[in-house]
Chain A
Amino acid sequence: MVDPSILRPEIALDDFLPIFVSSALVLVFGGFYVGIYTAVKVGILQKWTMPLAYLFWVLTSYCLYVMGSLMHVGDFTAKALVVAMIGYLLLPHAVYYMQHQVHEENEHV
């Protein structure tokens, strides 16, 4: 039941800094991704900036990959991380769709 890789979390001394930086950047880039996406959708940012949002999603995934490998996560966790990143790609689309739906419906009652 216990993931065997989690049992030996011996982290190389030189790996601490990249782990901290990459895990912080996971959220920062992740925030940029959904932030830019929403801002474009509601018209705060110009349409052409949308590819930047997806670029940030790619950076998020990359940082998560770096973090996961330096921490030596196991096979199961690695798969879970991949699923999480695909979920994260879809998340703002779903959220925007819902928000928009409510907004529209309340506009035209």
Chain B
Amino acid sequence: MANNHLTSESKQLATWYFSFAAIIFGAQLLFGLVAAIQYVMPGFLFEIIDFSIARILHINSLVVWMVFAMFGSVYWLLPDETGIETVGIKIGKLLYWVFVAAIVIVVLVYLFIQVGPADETTIWFITEGREYIEAPRWADIGIVIVALGFVANLFLTGMKGKQTGIVTVLMADMIAFAGLYLAGMFFTDNITVDQYWWWWVIHLWVEATWEVFVGAIAAYGLIKMIGARRQVVEMWLWIEVAMLFGSGILGMGHHYFWIGTPEYWWEIGALFSALEPLPLVAMFIHVLYDWGKQQGEQNALGEKVSVINNKPAFTWFVLQAFGNFLGAGVWGFFHTLPQVNLYTHGTQFTSAHGHLAFFGAYATILIGMMYMAIQGTNGIKVMKHTKASIWAVSLITIGVMGMTVALTIAGYVQVLVSRAQMGATWAGYFDGQSGMWFAQAMDWRLLMGAVTFAGFLFLIKDFLSTGKDAAHQR
């Protein structure tokens, strides 16, 4: 990078993390397209890259790019928050390369070896075959080491520099985030026990620690982008932590309805997952409140100037507040109660919810952080939208919403035909899949997936060019 305005090594490292995250994001979308094509044309790449392989790569790269962007976000905000350079930055850089190398090897093995014999060597070196955390055991251990190094850097920096509320929340959150991964690192013959602990990783990441993480990032973003008051933002962050962990930890019950676990999880799961949307509503309101207050004060000064100093990033942050509520909240709530979940569990409903929630809650805000990094790297005071950034945000949002609606319709067909009427048998399953509504929904899903990918191309174009755009105030 020619005129790099970054003086902090931590921020430098953050840009590495963001760059690799953006590449893996692209891989996620590509393999998602492969899987979407296979729903429409089952012969596509049959026995070359089967659906299972495409899907592993789709969901694993999702997790990986988000984790990379999350690490990047922390390295980006640490110098701002603590007022010092990140401690152990050299180790941080080394771990970055270790992490990247491990990911590349795992992906190549997924692609070219795919499956192994039914013994422990496969679990150790090829795949663990457990959705989302298929990474073989050696990579698990590598990931834990990298994560511990990251957490150590965060803790040492937080304790040496100024420990703000945001940093404190991140410290507590990231140690839980890293620790929980351990729950997914053992083998058992008992599939009920297997899935019980598997959810400790998946649920407690996605519906607890990651949500708190984005709460902290949103707090940082509001302070940086619209000058929200730290006192208000941090108080609100603590309330969010209480609400998110208070509902999210026991909200785990909604995964324990049907895996062989006792019936009391019905009540626990129903009660706490009904509470889970509340913090999402609260987070949405908070963004609205801060924005309204800050702009109101600005307007009172007489000049009509926007308080936002990074338009594209703020757009993605607002989209996050809304998307989290819509994807995790609305799309989660309508199939979370056990009476209904009995019929929707394991249908495309889950898939619809997954697409909108991961996008709304996480992809949006992490892309927002990438824009903040571009702003900082290029020394921009007020960053404006470009044509490409508007195309990117519009196409990606329309694409993901479109996929979600299509998958919801497909899920509805499955619930009625395969579940409520035919009781989830083999024949029932395929009757549902052959229905006209289901088939058309899958066509639309593919089309909307392509729209999302087009949006991604605009996003990359914007990432590469907007920094030098003369439209921004420097």
Contact flags A1-43 to B (C-beta < 8 A → 1, else 0): 1110010010101001101100110111011001100110011
Measured between alpha carbons, how far is A16 from B271 in the docked complex, in Å?
21
B196 shortest CB reach to chain A, Å = 20
Q: Which of B234-288 contact A (CB under 8 A)?
A: 235-236, 239, 263-264, 266-267, 270-271, 274, 277-278, 281-282, 284-286, 288
Contact A24 B293 (CB under 8 A): no
Contact partner, A39, options B266, B267, B288, B333, Cβ 8 Å: B288
CB-nearest residue of chain B to A13: B420
Q: Which of A92-109 contact B (CB under 8 A)?
A: 92, 95-96, 98-99, 102-103, 106
Q: A2-B267, A106-B229 given as contacts; is B288 within 8 A of A95 (CB)?
A: no
Measured between alpha carbons, how far is A57 from B366 in the docked complex, in Å?
33
Contact B288 A11 (CB under 8 A): no
Question: Is B415 positioned at the interface, with any CB of A under 8 Å from its CB?
Answer: yes
CB-nearest residue of chain A to B235: A102
For B285, the chain A residues whose CB sits under 8 A away are 34-35, 38, 92, 95
For A20, the chain B residues whose CB sits under 8 A away are 334-335, 340, 412
Measured between alpha carbons, how far is A99 from B291 in the docked complex, in Å?
13
Contact partner, A16, options B232, B278, B420, Cβ 8 Å: B420
For A43, the chain B residues whose CB sits under 8 A away are 292, 296
Measured between alpha carbons, how far is A73 from B339 in the docked complex, in Å?
9
A30 shortest CB reach to chain B, Å = 7
For B412, the chain A residues whose CB sits under 8 A away are 16-17, 20
Q: Which of B217-240 contact A (CB under 8 A)?
A: 229, 231-232, 235-236, 239
Question: Is B289 positioned at the interface, with any CB of A under 8 Å from its CB?
Answer: yes
Contact B342 A9 (CB under 8 A): yes
Contact B277 A27 (CB under 8 A): yes
Measured between alpha carbons, how far is A32 from B367 in the docked complex, in Å?
26
Measured between alpha carbons, how far is A24 from B229 in the docked complex, in Å?
34
A5 shortest CB reach to chain B, Å = 9
Contact partner, B292, options A24, A39, A98, Cβ 8 Å: A39
Question: Is A59 positioned at the interface, with any CB of B under 8 Å from its CB?
Answer: no
For A55, the chain B residues whose CB sits under 8 A away are none
B327 shortest CB reach to chain A, Å = 11
Question: Is A84 positioned at the interface, with any CB of B under 8 Å from its CB?
Answer: yes
Contact B339 A9 (CB under 8 A): yes
A29 shortest CB reach to chain B, Å = 11
Contact A38 B325 (CB under 8 A): no
Question: Is B432 positioned at the interface, with any CB of A under 8 Å from its CB?
Answer: no
Contact partner, B339, options A6, A28, A30, Cβ 8 Å: A6
Question: Is B338 positioned at the interface, with any CB of A under 8 Å from its CB?
Answer: yes
Question: Is B421 positioned at the interface, with any CB of A under 8 Å from its CB?
Answer: yes
Contact A27 B274 (CB under 8 A): no
Measured between alpha carbons, how far is A102 from B286 in the docked complex, in Å?
13
Contact partner, B420, options A11, A95, A103, Cβ 8 Å: A11
Contact A19 B340 (CB under 8 A): yes
Contact B288 A42 (CB under 8 A): yes
Contact A35 B284 (CB under 8 A): yes
Measured between alpha carbons, how far is A24 from B263 in the docked complex, in Å?
26
Measured between alpha carbons, how far is A96 from B236 in the docked complex, in Å?
11
Q: Which of A2, A77, A99 is most buried by chain B, counting CB atoms within 10 A of its CB?
A: A99
Contact A11 B339 (CB under 8 A): yes
Contact A99 B325 (CB under 8 A): no
Contact B232 A34 (CB under 8 A): no
Measured between alpha carbons, how far is A20 from B340 in the docked complex, in Å?
9
Question: Is B374 positioned at the interface, with any CB of A under 8 Å from its CB?
Answer: no
Q: Which of A49-82 contact B (CB under 8 A)?
A: 71-73, 77, 80
Question: Is B78 positioned at the interface, with any CB of A under 8 Å from its CB?
Answer: no
Contact B420 A71 (CB under 8 A): no
For B329, the chain A residues whose CB sits under 8 A away are 27, 31
Question: Is B416 positioned at the interface, with any CB of A under 8 Å from its CB?
Answer: yes
Question: Is A44 positioned at the interface, with any CB of B under 8 Å from its CB?
Answer: yes
Measured between alpha carbons, how far is A92 from B278 in the docked complex, in Å?
11
Measured between alpha carbons, how far is A12 from B212 in the docked complex, in Å?
39
CB-nearest residue of chain B to A1: B264
Q: A13-B421, A71-B339 given as contacts; is B330 within 8 A of A24 (CB)?
A: yes
For B282, the chain A residues whose CB sits under 8 A away are 95
Measured between alpha carbons, how far is A74 from B296 in the docked complex, in Å?
47
Contact A27 B339 (CB under 8 A): no
Question: Is B199 positioned at the interface, with any CB of A under 8 Å from its CB?
Answer: no
B234 shortest CB reach to chain A, Å = 10
Q: A20-B334, A106-B229 given as contacts; is B281 within 8 A of A31 (CB)?
A: yes
For B335, the chain A residues whose CB sits under 8 A away are 20
Interface residues of A (CB under 8 A from B): 1-3, 6, 9, 11, 13, 16-17, 19-20, 23-24, 26-28, 30-31, 34-35, 38-39, 42-44, 71-73, 77, 80, 84, 91-92, 95-96, 98-99, 102-103, 106
* Besides A24-B333, A42-B288, A95-B285, 19 new A-B residue pairs in contact (Cβ under 8 A), listed by A number: A11-B420, A16-B343, A16-B420, A20-B334, A20-B340, A24-B330, A24-B331, A31-B284, A34-B281, A35-B288, A38-B288, A38-B292, A39-B288, A44-B292, A71-B340, A92-B285, A95-B282, A98-B235, A99-B236
**17 A-B interface contacts by CB (under 8 A):** A2-B263, A6-B267, A9-B340, A11-B339, A16-B412, A19-B334, A20-B412, A24-B330, A24-B333, A27-B333, A35-B288, A39-B292, A42-B288, A71-B339, A98-B235, A98-B239, A103-B229
